[in-house]
Amino acid sequence: MTQLAIHHLTSQYDGKSVIKDLSLTLERNEIVALLGPSGCGKTTLLRAIAGLQPITEGDITLGDQVISTPSKSVVSEKRNIGMIFQDYALFPHLSVKDNIAFGLHKMSATEQSAVVDDMLTLVKLQGYQSRFPHELSGGQQQRVAIARALAYRPQLMLLDEPFSNIDSQSRGEIMQEMRQILKKQQVPAVFVTHSKDEAFAFADKIAIFKDGKIEQIDKGNVLYTTPTSPYVANFMGKTNYIAIESITNDSIVTCFGSQQLQEQTIPVTDNVMMVRPEQIIVDEQSHYKFKVVGCIFAGSHWVYTVCAIDNKASDGKNITIELHSHLLLDVDQVVGLSLNIAHIVTFNFDK
């Protein structure tokens, strides 16, 4: 069931279109991350959904209610949307209990107390109801923020860089806890982030933003393995672009030799093949030799820079490859390399 539907949305700021003809749907219980560089329109879209940013074209529907059109907009407080901000936006003078109960003023004191108790149990903060925000860690403050946002049963949750102020050691745990809470409550969410690692860990789908539009939206693994543009490929991780020497109906030839095409059709106009560093394998049986010209230790693996001996790799340019740390190579060492690619991705860099 579709919970949020955005159709051909355009929104302007200072006379400039920040979001341009954007469409997006969100299913019930689905978490979608908006991922992209600063100024690409992610936060503007979040503000438009929340009713804090006017739209000039298109519409936004939540459940069965149209909440935004260019001529009519439901006020933010009546949209039944919860929001969690980068700085949590907790009231410093209110206790945990009163922060959570802040939006429940229409309930009786007994009903408020029951909801607060339920939320404290949900976010694992039983016994913290009398504490104030300054007495809590960043992760605990984040739990209070989500408890407050969920207390009045929103139809949708909006999260704007919610993990940026949490230390790296706690971030992964907090993300998984928050994801489990949203799934348990069956509340869909739109999540803004600059970090692909956060998007991978927290979201069901990722929408890659570019200049106010969605360049591609899909599951994280699909975006990583089969991007539809170099922009998406580069945003999702380190990428090698290897010059294509020739393409036939059933194979593609590069400096790594001939790769068979299995139930794939490659446009004959494409001139580079995308290869992720981990798809390049040290293979001493390979006829394709490369010289190691640089290396960096990256913790779980080594990052090597190599050049093809015949100087054909990517038109003579270096290729960066990543290998597991137990494969220790020396600078100037010559190694055989082969590819381990299940699905070939190519682009035309002349377009």
Domain shared by 109 and 172, yes or no? yes
The pLDDT value recorded for residue 142 is 84
Question: Which residue among 180, 212, 232 closes a domain?
Answer: 232
Q: How many domains does the chain have?
A: 2
CA–CA distance, 21 with 213 (Å, rounded to integer): 7
User: For residue 32, what are the β-bridge partners?
Assistant: 190, 205
Q: Are residues 302 and 159 in the same domain?
A: no
The answer to whether residues 323 and 216 belong to one domain is no
Identify the pLDDT of residue 19: 95
* Region of 8 on the Ramachandran plot (φ > 0 left; ψ -120 to 50 alpha; else beta): left
Q: Where are the alpha helices (H) located in the chain, listed in sequence order?
A: 42-50, 96-100, 109-122, 138-150, 168-185, 196-202, 220-225, 230-236
Query: Which of 232, 249, 264 is the last residue before a domain boundary?
Result: 232
Query: Would the pLDDT of 196 be above 60?
Result: yes
Alpha-carbon gap, residue 31 to 11, rounded angstroms: 23
Q: Which residues contact 12 (CB under 8 A, 6 or more apart)?
A: 18, 56
Residues 31/179, Cβ–Cβ less than 8 Å: yes
Residues 221 and 255 grouped into a single domain: no
- Both 183 and 253 in one domain: the answer is no
pLDDT value of residue 98: 93
The tens digit of pLDDT for each residue in 309-327 reads: 764 444 445 566 776 666 8
- The tens digit of pLDDT for each residue in 23-58 reads 999 998 999 999 998 888 899 999 999 999 999 999
Residue bearing the bigger pLDDT, 303 or 67: 67
Domain range holding 316? Answer: 238-347
Q: What is the mean pLDDT of residues 330-340?
A: 92
- Token duo for residue 240: 């090698």
Q: Which residues pair with 294 in a beta bridge?
A: 305
> CB–CB of 62/80 below 8 Å?
yes
**Is the full-model pTM beyond 0.85?**
yes
Based on the domain organization, do 215 and 279 belong to the same domain?
A: no
pLDDT at residue 315, rounded to an integer: 47
DSSP track, 183-236 = HHHT--EEEEES-HHHHHHH-SEEEEEETTEEEEEE-HHHHHHS-SSHHHHHHH
Question: Could you tell me what percent of the chain has a pLDDT over 90?
Answer: 56
Q: In this predicted model, what pLDDT tens digit does every residue of 70-119 receive, in sequence order?
A: 999 999 989 999 988 777 788 999 999 999 998 888 889 999 899 999 99
Residue 177 maps to which CATH number? 3.40.50.300
d(CA 350, CA 273): 13
| Boundary (domain end) residue, out of 214, 232, 250 | 232
If asked whether residues 210 and 243 sit together in one domain, one would say no
| pLDDT at site 15 | 79
Cβ(191)–Cβ(33) under 8 Å? yes
Same domain, 226 and 245: no
Count the neighbouring beta carbons within 10 Å of the beta carbon of residue 336: 14
How confident is the model at residue 314, as a pLDDT?
44
